[in-house]
Amino acid sequence: MYDIHPSAVFVHRDVDKSPVYRKRVERVIAGLKRAVTPIVYDDADLPRLLLDGSIPKRRAMIQLGETDAPVLVFNLFRFDDRFEERLASLKGACPGGDWMARPLLGYGAFHWANYNQEGDPARYDKVCRPCWRIHQQNGCLHRCSYCGFGNLLITSVNIEEYCEHLGTIIEKHPWQKTYLLDDDADPPCLEPEHGVLGKLIEYFGTLDDRYLIIHTKTWNTAWMRDLKHNGNTIIVWSVSGPRQSRLIEPGTGTTDQRILAARIAQEAGYQIRYKFKPIVPVKGWREDAAYTAAKIFEQTSPDVISLCCWMWHDVDGMKQRLPVDLLEPAYLRAAEDSRELVADTRTKPFPPWVRREIYEHHLAEIRKWDADVPVSISTETFEMWKELGPELGYTARDYVCGCGPTTTPGAREVSCHPFTDAIRAPGPFPGAY
């Protein structure tokens, strides 16, 4: 488990009442470097705890001081239809609205992501596959400066009930082969003391042709060696160069630590992958890309690599979340000069020529080591796919995605049409939204 010093630990009464669930919390508390007495609470206590700041509001990691540590909240996922009722009971006390209230109230175990389908507001501005995504935590112990999940880590412990409901989703969606965990957290951080992620890995190990994908920046994989995963768990590392990993993502594994963790997982039989995501063009990024590609292929054998530039924020938002003095000056000027050009895109702040230059350099460094490994661009535009598709060897429709719903271990092609065959079956699916 990570070395953490939470200022407080909250445990929902329903967790405390169960010997099995309470034991999971007690193991985490015993692993803390500083003694903390857990506070048991009920739903009725939440408005007060939120209003007086005992359970703090979210803050961007870059706003946190050196000694700030997240408050831990242990609860249960709920699989009922009472979210709106319980949300109303908070009486406006929850900053961030649904985004924070959902996990705090125990909802949001499963999410239907309607990417590039009707109802997706960014349908024509990014390429991503519709699918079910799954969650276990909300918040993060890493301290990537750009992340908004600071100050609070909410995690649920009823993994057995979770797997029962997940099984229903898997059964009713035969086209979906892989399930991504977690884009709201980094679940290996509390393991193995938490005792939840291992059970999820072993649950997938009992399935036929269904795979768990864990998305992480962790160094913490040694505990996974003896799990009965049966080759049904894929681990995808968001990897970055040494400067970015040390200076912008200080709580994560360094470049070398992440690749070592991937090698440990690979030696234990897990399929491993990498995403250069987000690529922050710091001074010296070209040398760092070369270093990282070399380390990857000297030590591991990924079956997919993805590339994604820093995006999702305009240039002013970028300046609030990244140390600007570290950025390559020419690219910072390009972002400043392209405000209007990229204003209505998700891929801002960098203009297309910058992103293409970054992708082509990373691709060239990868190809020095492996001429055949599938390389894709992640959450990029259809226009960028048209430009880079010939170099990548794929199109926006058929590329092999590092976390996509049909990219099974070793796959070189998708098993169905990623947009038209991905249909959400009729529910109900308790715990889903």
pLDDT in tens, 46-66: 999 999 999 998 888 888 877
Stretch 269-290: mean pLDDT, rounded? 98
Name residue 110's beta-bridge partners: 134, 432
Residue 100's pLDDT is 84
Beta bridge partners of 327: 282
Where are any strands of DSSP class E within 65-140? Answer: 71-75, 110-113, 131-134, 137-138
The DSSP code for 368 is T
Binning pLDDT at 50, 70 and 90, where does residue 279 land? very high
- Residue among 306, 239, 234 nearest 266 (CA): 234
Model confidence over 371-421: pLDDT tens digits? 999 999 999 999 999 999 999 999 999 999 999 999 999 999 998 899 899
Using N-to-C axis directions, what is the helix angle for 352-367 and 285-299, rounded to 10°?
40
Query: Whole-number mean pLDDT of the chain?
Result: 95
Q: Domains in the chain, please, with CATH?
A: 104-141+159-392 (3.80.30.30)
Full-model pTM: 0.96
- Phi, psi dihedrals of residue 41, rounded to the nearest 5°: -135, 160
Q: CB-based contacts of 312: which residues, under 8 Å, 6+ apart?
A: 346, 348
The stretch 291-312 carries a mean pLDDT of 97
Side chain identity at residue 314, one-letter code: D
CB 295 within 8 A of CB 326: no
